[in-house]
Structure 1
Amino acid sequence: MNKLYKLTTLLLMMLLTVSTVNAQKKTLTLEDAIVKRWSQFYPEHITVQWRPDSKGYYIINEENRIVEVNAKKGTKNIILTLGGLKGSHNDLLNISRLPRYKWITKNKFTFNLENKIYVTDVTTKKSEQTTSWNLEGKHQDVTSDRKQAAYTIDNNLYISIGNEEIQLTNEPNKEIVFGQTVHRNEFGVNKGTYWSPKGTALAFYRNDQTIVTDYPLVDLSTRPATANPIKYPMAGQKSEEVTLKVYNTVSKKTIDIKTEGPKEQYLTNVAWSPNEKSVFIGILNRDQNHLALNEYNAETGEFVKTLFEEKDSKYLSLTHPMEFLPNSSDKFIWRTEKDGFEHVYLYSTDGKQLAQITKGDWVVMDVLGFDRKNQNIFVLGTDNNGMDRQVYRANIKSQKVTKITKESGVYSGVKYDASSNLLFANFTNLTTPNKEVIFDTNGKVIKTILDAKDPLADYKVSPIELNTITAADGKTVLNTRMIKPSNFDATKKYPVIMYVYGGPGVQLLTNRWQGGASLWMQKAAQDGYIIYTVESRGSENRGKDFEQATHLHLGDAEIADQLKGVDSLKTLSYVDANKLAIHGWSFGGFMTTSLMTKAAGTFKVGVAGGPVMDWGLYEIMYTERYMSTPQKNPKGYEKSLLLDKTPLLEGKLLIIHGLIDDVVVPQHSFLFLQNCVSNGVQVDFFTYPGHPHNVRGKDRVHLMKKVLMYIDDNINR
């Protein structure tokens, strides 16, 4: 009897302790979840750099000093203090902290202050201002020696050499743009200028948009409101006409690269030869299924030869330019998914494929570098059904590939140092907020620099559950993520918010801390919701077949896969199948509206943000890759169209759209509203007048309150 009494007392004390601990946990507010997501609630991290021809890594410590740490021995050496940097140049006397910097040689690093570039020599403790650019300048691109900068003012291109400004173009027609990104940032194009390796020449785009239609956005900040049109080429219409030019800083002359073929083709993957004599361009046809890697003479612009061509029955995803091997002028690597997954291939400049360096049912995400003898290449690639990011070593001669990292999770910010033959990486998984480590080329951890604490440890948050289901095709594995309420009780039934994207080029779920989930999801779970996401076919980083499953019929396989997720939810005793809500933005808005109409009755509430309602109204470069043109694929466009599906709508649907959305233009939502009115269908709508495609900053709190309040108000009706 006495033993039973003691045992009961002990159990009561344990339950009381657990209850007390839970009661002491802080409540996560929506404001904190959004505004403090990348500050207070972002795991601690340290910026680490390698220094050329050195055995150490470099950090800025709490005393504002650049510190060298021997990676293997752990010994430390102060390289430069804040005071030392201040005294290195008169312009730097008033700086309050060490700036972000980058090593460019063994003894020199560089940094920017406003529109000026400085190089500091740590041996002489002197800094030099190497160049600057006009304060009006945008899209800055700087040479590797930091002595020249290219930049744009309005639609024209300039360079500075030292403090001398040279205007390279003088085009009065604002619809012809120089030196800026083209093709609406598709095909891996993210800038408009390309310096040669030694900085003696600059390749740059000329983008003729005179034939592209204007789209009328409205600026409400003026009185009265004024038109602020943008160039927006819609699927099947006329596209921009892009060419490439080269300016030689020695001869002071500009030449045209003589690319032939249709004017509306795409000029991608621009690269220079190490000797600066050639420019290479990937010429991609408008159908996006045929690419020719061409070489051009950089002095005359003449076509030299086609190194090779790539074709695909559906479309090509070639987004990385050729990369020459260190100290080689005739061997380069090329990334392609022609075997089904993106891998690294070795080529010679005569166009001959020498080897496939990496292979396997995983995707190369990044090339990290070569060892000193060019015997091995290190890459970052996927693993674990696309959920992990691991480091691989591949021998260039034997093509033997070894995964050198050991722990399941996501390695990121990986930097390989050929001098020490070591790597640095951030590591995270569901239980590791952030760990920063130095490891050797066999994966052995040499030093743990940081093991960050959980910034949410004191808050009522739920563990992330990653799982899998089978796709609607009956064979493909799909990744899922679930967040249960923080006070979860398996005997109760809970409403569900399905968060969806489902489109190409995006991966929502990874095996990282919080599983890639936004913190507003933890707030919603704290308020009693289950948050559930299915990564459907068509999304990124799962290989070509997985991604191309939606070709010519966007919205078919994705909807079927999301409904498989619903079927899985309905098997769970703690899910209230009568209280399902769905929310998504952009392609996720298209998916939300599709599911609220084509699968009417499945979801009680939907909130669609920035939704595509008609793929014929979306941009050429993205849409035609996945849907071809409306002229060639009328049935696909008709089936995916949501404007005529309004009579099918059941449940409560809120559509949200930024009034100056230049990605999914507002016409999508307004035409859907017009069809709702014509068909007597009730729908709710909200706009953010000052915001483009995404609502950011403090207004994002308002947005998520609007989303969650709408679901709260309607889920229990």
Structure 2
Amino acid sequence: MNKSYFLFYITLFYAVFSLAQKKEITLSEIWSGEFRTKGMRELQSLKNDREYTVLNWDASTRSTSIDLYDYESQVKKKTIVRSSELNITPFSKYSFSQDEQKILLATELEPIYRRSTLAKYFVYDIVTSELIAVDDRKIQEPTFSPIGDKIAYVCNNNIYIKNLVDNSIIQITSDGEKNKIINGITDWVYEEEFEFVRAFEWNKTGTQLAYVKFDETKVPEFSMDIYAQNLYPKQQVFKYPKAGENNSQVSLYNCNVLSKETLKINFPESPYYIPRFKFTEEENLLSVQTLNRHQNNLNLYFCDVEKNQIHLVLNEKEDTYISIANHLTFLKDNSFLWLSEKDGYNHIYYYSKSGELKKQITKGLWEVTDFYGYNSKDKMIYYQSTENGNINRDVYAINIKGKNKKRLTKKVGTNAATFSTGYTYFINTFSSVQTPYCYTLNQTNKVVEIKELVNNEPLLEKLKDYEFSNKEFSTIRVNGNDLNMWMIKPVDFDDQKKYPVLMYQYSGPGSQEVANKWNGANDYWYQLLASKGYIVVCVDGRGTGFKGADFKKVTYKKLGKYEVEDQIQAAKQLGALSYVDENRIGIWGWSYGGFMSSNCILKGNDVFKMAIAVAPVTSWRYYDTIYTERYMQTPQENPEGYDLNSPINFADQLKGKFLLIHGTADDNVHVQNSMRLIERLIIKNKQFDWAIYPNKNHGIYGGNTRLQLYTKMTNFIEYSL
């Protein structure tokens, strides 16, 4: 035999043998946590700027501990407290008093909605090792006063203050009642859409406590049946304002903690929404942000809570909507840093105490994506942005004059920082499509990485044993726009063959799915599908985020129009590729993505052969006020915008295979959405598949639920595509 042919066959044999030895990822591995990454839990920097604490789990003793580390040496100095030594159940959250002499420990957490929980809380005194319960009952949002001598909290919709000196408790409000009055805790829709739960704030000295009262009396109720072993289901009833319906009436109060006197803050006109409030650097000066119902007129007020005097400091108006940020930062003289999209991109602005613009700190065709803080010592601002490409994130420093900007991170991917209290150090969390999460200690001023703290190299080694394809980033020109896209091809991809394509998207306003970061669980599922011969693609269409306000807000009053057009056109262009079977293109999504995939299989019935919709909105008339009206106004004002893009109204156009999935206990996107679409499909005599998960919420998880769900979806894809 010719020697060159012999070497060729030997090489081919080893290549095939090597490929044959690769393992295929299984669903049971994905959903058992086999590919889970390591991290650093509940990291908190101490005031001395030299040390930080982390919450650790000890599997051998089944206990948690708060451990103290030195930034520079990275040596664990000691364990501050361990749950097993206190004879309490493992704590899952903690917070220090301002003097760092006491720790608030959360145990027995019981979720309520997405962000809210009930829990048993204890105060541990580091000096005396004494442990006391805050209350015998499960409570919400306990928070130390600034001097650490008191804790404010909410129980059964009322606010209490516990004095840690004598263990006495005073009740600040007494009118709290389920589904009627809430004091100091947000209602369902505020929690979900304004993204906060605690609706009370201490001032800088602990002498004043401001809080919001929610009057839910006129808000319509929604009910869900909870199925258990009992003969009759239990009904869960809660206030949920759907688009166009009544919201809670909100009012702002302040309690003088010393005199126990409470007064209502009087605004020039009653605010419709109070999405943010916090005390300034002045003891009695409270900042309050208010929004109109359309969420396009934002006011920032300063209120003297002792004199009950209020004045307007800043006003922003938009033709569309204003996104609420959580980064209002006051300097010592009460001048402040503010984030705004008013120049078309999200940037940092510096205002005087009176609301006069002093400086636009950042500027450019990119977005500030996180604000880390201001260091008064060197007058530097720290933030995260998309300056290095909108699928990447980097950490930067810039001074208060908008000069001397420094990029503090060097690796290309997604970087996020946790700074020490004095900004001397930061721990950077980095990942990319090639690199799982890695935690490094960095020195801020010198812009140097000191050492690696945690990596996930063992996971990378494990993945070498599996069939694993590259996630390829690119852009696709669709409807006049360059849209970000990723694609995963089969390991043995051959451009002379034709492959079926499964598209995934979310597409909600300001979202991003095409990002240079490490895998989530779904990415491993896409690898499994690729190993079965599918190409998996994701395209971020118009309406998604981090490409400027105009790109994001083009969907205003028309949710589901341009986003669906982009997915349909992208599918057509993918179908034109030589290696894609244009007759075997499917799409799937969850929540907003389920709304999208439902619309795509109906309006794009000549393009998509199959679709999966999990927990979809099927009519924005069924979704909540704050989210829906932000983008659509009310159904009464914009009926066509609601109806022309509702899957319910296009059920007669179904041609392909369609799988509809929902949980019966979804408090967010109610199962009513799927039931209404099911009803329309039946009326139109359309055949489809569906799955209902009893007592599961919007996430549809718990036990083997995710494994069963993804097995069902995988089987459906193989059957349909």
TM-score over 0.5 for the pair: yes
Residue pairs, 1:96-495, within 5 angstroms: 110=103, 112=105, 114=107, 115-120=121-126, 126-129=128-131, 132-162=134-164, 163-171=167-175, 173-174=177-178, 175-182=180-187, 183-185=189-191, 186-221=193-228, 222-262=230-270, 265-300=272-307, 302-320=308-326, 322-325=328-331, 328-412=332-416, 414-417=417-420, 419=422, 421-439=424-442, 440-441=444-445, 443-453=447-457, 454=460, 455-472=462-479, 474=480, 476-495=481-500
Residue 118 (structure 2) aligns with:
none
RMSD, aligned α-carbons: 2.9
Looking at structure 2, the residues matched to 624 and 96 of structure 1 have their Cα atoms a distance apart, in angstroms, of 43
Is the aligned partner of 1:707 residue 2:710? no
AA aligned opposite 1:446: I
* Among 574, 585, 588, the residue aligned to 1:569: 574
Q: Distance in 2 between matches of 1:105 and 1:152?
A: 20
**What SS does the aligned partner of 2:469 have?**
coil
Cross-structure match for 1:41: 35
Distance 2:38 2:455 in 1: 8
Using the TM superposition, name which of 416-425 and 329-338 deviates more: 416-425
Q: Is the CA contact (8 Å cut-off) linking 1:581 and 1:604 kept in structure 2? A: yes
**TM-fit CA distance, 1:202:** 2.1
Alignment CA distance shift 1:684-1:46 (3 Å): closer
Alignment of 1:656-671 (within 5 A): 656-671=661-676
| Displacement of 1:505 | 4.1
Shift of 1:613: 1.6
Alpha-carbon distance change, 190 to 355 in structure 1, aligned in 2, over 3 angstroms: farther
State the Cα distance separating 1:267 from its structure 2 match.
Answer: 0.5
Q: State the shift of 1:331 in Å.
A: 1.6
The CA deviation at 1:511 is 0.5
Pick one of 559, 562, 583 that aligns with 2:588.
583
Determine if contact 1:365/1:380 at 8 Å carries over to the other structure.
Answer: yes
Aligned-pair identity in percent equals 32
Distance in 2 between residues matched to 1:97 and 1:690, nearest whole Å? 27
User: How far apart in 2 are the matches of 1:689 and 1:274?
Assistant: 50
- The answer to whether the aligner puts 1:614 opposite 2:619 as a matched pair is yes
Give the Cα–Cα distance (whole angstroms) in 1 for the partners of residues 408 and 440 of structure 2.
Answer: 14
Q: 1:546-557 maps to which residues of 2 (within 5 A)?
A: 546-557=551-562
Answer whether contact 1:318 1:335 (CA < 8 A) is retained.
no
User: Judging changes above 3 Å, is the alpha-carbon distance between structure 1 residues 523 and 154 closer, same or farther for their aligned structure 2 residues?
Assistant: farther
How far apart are residue 338 of structure 1 and its match?
Answer: 0.9
Check conservation: 1:500, 1:534, Cα contact below 8 A.
yes
CA distance in 2, matches of 1:239, 1:708: 41
Shift in alpha-carbon separation, 1:636–1:107, aligned structure 2, 3 A: closer
Deviation, 1:588, is 0.8
State which drifts further: 603-612 or 104-113: 104-113
- CA distance in structure 2 between the partners assigned to 1:396 and 1:316 by the alignment: 25
Task: Give the conservation status (yes or no) of the 8 Å contact 2:572–2:607.
Answer: no
The answer to whether the aligner puts 1:15 opposite 2:12 as a matched pair is yes
Write the distance in 2 (CA, Å) between the matches of 1:50 and 1:216: 43
In 1, distance between residues paired with 2:294 and 2:313? 21
Specify the code of the residue in structure 2 equivalent to 1:656. Answer: I
Contact 2:502 2:535 in 1 (8 A): yes
Residue 13 of structure 1 deviates from its aligned partner by 3.7
C-alpha distance in 1 between matches for 2:158 and 2:507: 38
Confirm or deny: 8 A CA contact 2:30 2:521 kept in the other structure.
Answer: no
Which SS does the other structure have where 1:635 is aligned? helix
Cα distance in 1 for partners of 2:372, 2:699 equals 32
Letter of the structure 1 residue corresponding to residue 210 of structure 2: A
Aligned-pair distance for 1:341?
A: 1.4
Residue 537 of structure 1 corresponds to which residue in structure 2? 542
| Greater Cα shift, 287-296 or 496-505 | 496-505
Distance 1:499 1:240 in 2: 36
2:699 to 694, 701, 704: 694
SS at match of 2:670: coil
* Alpha-carbon distance between aligned partners in 2 of 1:214 and 1:100, rounded to the nearest angstrom: 32
1:27 paired to 2:30: no
C-alpha distance 404-538 of structure 1, shift in aligned 2 (>3 A): same
Deviation at 1:620, TM superposition (A): 1.0
Check whether the contact 1:270–1:282 (CA below 8 A) recurs between aligned residues: yes
1:246 counterpart letter in structure 2: N
Query: CA distance change for structure 1 residues 462 and 478 in 2, over 3 Å: closer, same or farther?
Result: same
1: CA distance, partners of 2:707 / 2:48: 48
Look up the equivalent residue of 1:281 and give its one-letter code: V
Structure 1 distance, partners of 2:623, 2:577, is 38
Change (3 A) 1:709 1:354: same
Q: Deviations over 1:140-186 (max 9, x none)?
A: 33435554333333332323222333222222642111221244332
Deviations 1:524-546 (A, max 9, x none): 22222221111111123332112
Q: More deviation in 484-493 or 277-286? A: 484-493
Secondary structure at 1:646 match in 2: helix
1:80 aligns with 2:75: no
Cα 1:165–1:709 change in 2 (3 A) is farther
For the residues of structure 1 that align with 2:190 and 2:93, how far apart are their CA atoms?
Answer: 30
Q: Deviations over 1:16-68 (max 9, x none)?
A: 333333333333211221231xxx31233345654433446666899989464
CA contact (8 A) 1:468 1:477 kept: yes
Counterpart Cα distance in 1 of 2:415 and 2:8: 42
> Relative to structure 2, which stretch is displaced further, 556-565 or 439-448?
439-448
Q: Which runs of 5+ in 1 are unaligned?
A: none
Amino acid at match of 1:633: N
Cα distance change on mapping 1:105 and 1:311 into 2, 3 Å? closer
* TM-score scaled by length of structure 2: 0.89
Q: What's the secondary structure of 1:546's corresponding residue?
A: helix
C-alpha distance in 1 between matches for 2:91 and 2:706 = 32
> 2:159 & 2:95 partners in 1: Cα distance?
26
Q: Cα distance, 1:451 vs. partner?
A: 3.8
- The CA distance in 2 between the partners of 1:492 and 1:616, in whole Å, is 45
Q: 2:48 aligns with which of 35, 50, 53?
A: 53
Q: 1:638 aligns with which of 629, 643, 646?
A: 643
Q: CA deviation at 1:402?
A: 3.5
Residue identity in the other structure for 1:80: K
Q: For residues 321 and 404 of structure 1, do their structure 2 counterparts lie closer, same or farther at Cα, with a shift above 3 Å needed?
A: closer
- Give the Cα–Cα distance (whole angstroms) in 2 for the partners of residues 261 and 597 of structure 1: 46
Q: TM-score, normalised to structure 1's length?
A: 0.89
Residue type of the alignment partner of 1:52 = K
Structure 1 distance, partners of 2:672, 2:419, is 47
Distance 2:255 2:385 in 1: 37
Quote how far apart the aligned CAs of 1:391 are. 0.8
Q: Does the C-alpha gap of structure 1 residues 224 and 62 become closer, same or farther in structure 2, counting only changes over 3 Å?
A: closer
Compared with structure 1, are the counterparts of its residues 173 and 59 closer, same or farther at alpha carbon in structure 2 (3 Å cutoff)?
closer
For 1:397 and 1:680, how far apart are their aligned partners in 2?
Answer: 66
Judged with a 3 Å threshold, the aligned counterparts in structure 2 of structure 1 residues 518 and 705 are, in CA distance, closer, same or farther, namely: same
Which digits, 9 at most, give the CA deviation of each residue in 1:237-296, with x for residues without a partner?
222211122222211222212234356x11022110123202111110001111111112
